[in-house]
Amino acid sequence: MKRREFFGVLGGAFALPLAARAQQQSGKRPTIGLLTAGAPATHGRWVNAFVQRLNELGWVDGRTIAIEYRWAEGRPDRYAEIAAEFVQLKVDVIVTQGGAVAAAKKATSVIPIVFTVAADPLGDGSVASLARPGGNVTGLSLQFTDLAGKRLEFLREGVPRLDRLAIMANVGYRAAALEMAEVEATARRLGLEVTISPIRRTEDIAPAVVGFKGRADALYVCGDPLMSTNQVQINTLALNARLPTMHAIGEYVKAGGLMSYGANFPDLWRRGGDYVDKILRGAKPGDIPVEQPIKFDLVINLKTAKALGLSLPPTLLARADEVIE
């Protein structure tokens, strides 16, 4: 889907970068191919943070750069097609996330690729090392699995009678499968009874959540583009099944989940703008180190808690970065 019109230019007067001047002298503005795993409704706020940062750095869509927006809408089968289209368009930088990084890397070894969010870029072979990525790929890495214990700590504090934990993950998505394994191991160490539901497509979600009813005291949802696309459905089903939910991404809580703890995604996308700025000014992606998150948020939906009959402790609410009422 082409959504160039989706974002307004966040205007103002900006200093024109040297690279942009050179491109304009040759009659061509630098072009960014933006491949987003989700849809405007689920990923629009993150993309806006990226675009705003570019604007602050002097890169304004339609003036000093051109941005080609593509939305995979939770369909990994579209990644290769979109990446190939960007290569054909001869974009100057490809910006993407998660599982789409592999498709972009397969499509080109020449065009710089920046990932705004990736769970395990070293483990999946996207980069040779975090300090010196090498090749044409760099960006920002997540710490999904490292935070499993902290998420369960918050969940147990909010759901004091938590003895049985359900875990739902899209096992077709490598990062989600890794997170599921880490959550299961951590939960068992804590003495929790664990029920797992691996899914692969949208049609698997409803039967999985309904199947947890009466068998679990809470549901841990491993995030990925499929879950993001269906976050409202997941949280509605969980609420009907009287299941408090834990997520890694704050947007899931705004869509009705109980709580989340994880990296601040708008901040990661915003920092992705800095990577693109460096590359458009001449830096090689292989020389730019992969960075980690620096902002982590605990988000709690008090409205959902009340609907579930949960009285969350004041100490937990006081530690939240955002409380939705």
pLDDT, averaged across the chain? 90
pLDDT at 24: 47
Task: Provide the pLDDT for residue 67.
Answer: 98
The CATH code of the domain at 4-142+265-294 is 3.40.50.2300
For the stretch 22-70, pLDDT in tens is: 454 455 899 999 999 988 988 999 999 999 999 999 999 999 999 999 9
pLDDT digits (tens, 9 = 90+) for 189-213: 999 999 999 999 999 999 999 999 9
Closest C-alpha among 292, 301, 295 to residue 251: 301
161 burial level (CB within 10 Å; 0-12, 13-18, 19+): exposed
Question: Which tokens go with 239?
Answer: 């609420």
Q: Which amino acid is at 60?
A: V
Strands 164-170 and 218-221: parallel
Domain range 145-263+297-324, CATH class: alpha beta
pLDDT at 145 over 70: no
Gyration radius from the chain CA atoms: 20
Ranges 13-22, 83-92, 200-209: which has the least confidence: 13-22
pLDDT at 107 over 70: yes
Query: pTM for the complete prediction?
Result: 0.83
What b/e string do you get for 221-242 counting C-beta neighbours within 10 Å, with b at 16 or more?
bbbbbbbbbbbebbbebbbebe
Find the range with the poorest average confidence among 143-152, 197-206, 255-264, 294-303: 143-152
According to the model, what pLDDT value does residue 9 have? 36
Amino acid letter, residue 44: G
Confidence band for 277, pLDDT divided at 50, 70 and 90: very high
Q: Which residues of 309-322 are buried (b: 16+ CB within 10 A; e: fewer)?
A: eeebeeebeeebee
Q: Where do the CATH 3.40.50.2300 domains begin and end in the chain?
A: 4-142+265-294, 145-263+297-324
Residue that is written with structure tokens 């395990």 in the block: 120
Q: What's residue 99's pLDDT?
A: 87
